[in-house]
Every structure is written in structure tokens, then in C-alpha cells.
Amino acid sequence: MAHILVVDDSSTMREIVASFLSKNGFEVAVATDGRDGLHQLQKDPGIRLVVSDVNMPNMDGLTMAEKIRSELGNKQVRIVMLTTEDNQTMRERGKAIGVTGWIVKPFKGEAVLGPFRKLCGMA
């Protein structure tokens, strides 16, 4: 079972994040957009953290977060947005939905290891 679900429409970004996290002891699943992310989350109840881009086709990250909280009724999983968006309005929407954190790209892996371990219950 995965600890972390990485959701991003960029295959390069998914690979960078998933590979880094795997090399640092996390079980990682990946999804290509919000719809795929919801499906992966339903398949794997072991996921503790969702790391998602905001801007994606089919379903964006914030809509996926809303659906995780409302349609899936999942209040336990932590959700962190990893995006180029540094818009205060988006951040506030995310916070209201139940987004746990907001990281502006580029991805700095070493900086997130401790917080991600804590969010996954590994520290």
C-alpha cells in the first residue's frame, strides 16, 4: 500500500517527485490528473498523503481535494499542493477545502522529507 499519492499531469514532474520519495523510503503511487487521483485513492486505503498539482486537465487538484473531502468523505488523508501557482485566493480556497500545505515549484525534495514523514505518520 502506498503512503503517498503523487498527482500531476506532467510525466516528468511525476517521475521526479515519485522517484525522490521512493528513494527516501516512501511507498508511492502516481496519478495523471484529479480523476485518476480519486480512483487511486479509492483503490488504496493506505495512502496517507496526496501531493498534487493544481492545474491539470480533466480535473484540477483543488476540485480533486474537494471531492476527496466531500464525495469520498475522507477527512484523514493529508493533501499538499505542489504547483507553480502562488495565488493567495487559490491558497485560501485550498485551506477552506482542507488542503494541508502548499508548495510552490520547483520541488525541493530534501526540504519536504521531514514534513512528509510526519504527515504520513512515519516520524
**Mean pLDDT within 37-48:** 94
Q: How high is the pLDDT of residue 1?
A: 54
- As a whole number, the mean pLDDT across the chain is 94
For the CA atoms of the chain, what is the radius of gyration?
13
Work out the angle at residue 13's Cα, subtended by the Cα atoms of residues 6 and 93, and round it to the nearest 5 degrees. Answer: 60
pTM metric for this prediction: 0.95
Percentage of the chain beyond pLDDT 90 is: 88
Nearest alpha-carbon partner for 52 in 96, 82, 75: 82
Averaged over 17-34, what is the pLDDT? 96
The answer to whether residue 82 scores a pLDDT higher than 60 is: yes
